[in-house]
Amino acid sequence: MKKEKTKFFSTGLGQLTIPLVAIFLLVIFNLIRDPSFFGIVLGHNNDGNIVLSGNLISIINGASELAVLAMGMTLVTAACGGQDISVGAAAAIAGSVFVKVLKSGGSIGGGKVLIAFIAACVVAMLFGTFNGTLVAVFRIQPMIATLILYTCGRSIAYWINGGATPTVSSPIITAIGGFIPGIPVPTPIIIVVIVAILFKLVFHFTSLELFTQSVGINGSAARLNGINSTFIKLLSFIILGVCVAVSGSIGVSRLGLINHETLLLDIEMDTILAVAIGGNNLGGGKFRISGSIIGAYVIQMLTVTLYAMKVSSTDVKAYKAIVIILLVVIGSPVIKSRFEKLMSRFKNGRSEISAKGAGES
C-alpha cells in the first residue's frame, strides 16, 4: 500500500509531468507579470471576418508547424532512436513544390491547391523514403543520414524556385494561412487538430503504436516476434514526410511566398526540443504524441512570453537556452531519483509516526 502510494505521487502523470509543469509555471509567470496577458478578443480583421485574437491565440497559432512536425518526429524518434535534422530543409523543398504547382499556369482554384498539396506530400514522402532507407536498410544513425538532406535541402529548394523567391496570392492560400471566412479560429490550429485526430485514429485502428515502441525498445527482439522492423522504421520516416509537407504548406500559405532560406528556419532544433520536453526518450522506445504537442506549445509560449518582455528576436535564444537547461535539469534521471528518495523518506517518516499514533490509541 505504502509503495503504491509513493509510486502514484512520483509518476502520477508519467512523462507528461515536466511539460505540464512548464506550461503551468509559464502561465503563472505571465499572469503575475500582466493579468490581461491571456485575454482573448473577438474582433474584425481587414477582410471584415470575425476573428479571435490575443496572445493565447497567437501562441497556439504560431506553434502549428512545430506541433505537426513534433508529432511526426516523435514516431521517428521512438522507432529509430534518433532524430531527423532535415525537417526544415525538407519543408522548404515541399513548400517550393507546393508553390511551383500553384504557379504552373491558370487560375488558383480549390482543386489546384489540393493537387499542389498532394504533389508536396509525394515529394516530401520521397525524401522521407530516402532518409528512411539510409536508416532502416543501411543502418546509418538517423542524425548522420539526415545530415545529407540538411546540407543540401535548402539548396534544392532554391534550385526548384529557379533562384528566386516566388509569391502566390489567392484567397484560398490566405484562408489556409489565416482565417476561413465565417470561422473565427485561425486555420493552422484547425489543421493541427485534424492531424492530431488522424494520428489518434491510426493508433486506435492499427497496431502502429505498439509496433513502433517494440522496434524502438529492441529492434532484433521485435523482428524475432514477427514485426518487420525495417518497414516500421521506413514508415515512420514516410509519415514524418507527410507532416513535413503539411507544415511546409502552412508556412508558405502564412506568408504567401516561399523563401528557401527563411522558411521554418532552425525548426529542426525546436522540433527535437519539443519531443524531448514532452518527456520522450530521445534514445527511442516508449513515446506519447500528446507530450510532444504540449512540448511544442511550451516552446512557443516561452518565445511569445520573451517577446512580450521586450526581448529582441535575436536575443531570445539565450533566454530560451536557460529555461531549457532548467527544464531538463529538473527532468534529469539523477535529480529525479534524488527527489524521489527524499520524498519517500519524508513519507515513510510520516507514516511511521502515524502508525505509532495508531498503535498508541
**Measured between alpha carbons, how far is 114 from 102 in angstroms, rounded to an integer?**
10
Q: Which of 91, 64, 60, 62 is nearest to 191 (CA)?
A: 64
From the CB of 155, what's the least distance to other proteins, in Å? Answer: 4
From the CB of 19, what's the least distance to other proteins, in Å? Answer: 14
Q: Which helix (H) or strand (E) holds 51?
A: strand 50-53
From the CB of 355, what's the least distance to other proteins, in Å? Answer: 36
From the CB of 5, what's the least distance to other proteins, in Å? Answer: 27
From the CB of 25, what's the least distance to other proteins, in Å? Answer: 17
Q: Which of 267, 262, 261, 263 is nearest to 253 (CA)?
A: 263
Residue among 28 and 325 whose Cβ is closer to other proteins: 325
**Residue showing cell 516566388:** 166
From the CB of 145, what's the least distance to other proteins, in Å? Answer: 7
Contact residues: other proteins, CB under 8 A: 83, 134, 138-141, 143-145, 147-156, 158-159, 163, 269, 272-273, 276, 282-283, 312, 314-322, 324-325, 328-329, 332-335
Residue among 138 and 205 whose Cβ is closer to other proteins: 138
Residue among 245 and 277 whose Cβ is closer to other proteins: 277
**Measured between alpha carbons, how far is 223 from 308 in angstroms, rounded to an integer?**
51
Residue among 55 and 280 whose Cβ is closer to other proteins: 280
Q: Which helix (H) or strand (E) holds 245?
A: helix 229-255
Residue among 241 and 295 whose Cβ is closer to other proteins: 295
Looking from the CA of 119 toward its CB, the CA atoms found within 13 Å total: 16
Instruction: Centre a 10 Å sphere on the Cβ of residue 334 and count the other Cβ atoms it contains.
Output: 8
Residue among 2 and 139 whose Cβ is closer to other proteins: 139
- What CA dihedral angle connects 42, 48, 49 and 53, to 10 degrees? -30
Spatial neighbors of 36 by CB under 8 A, at least 6 apart, are none
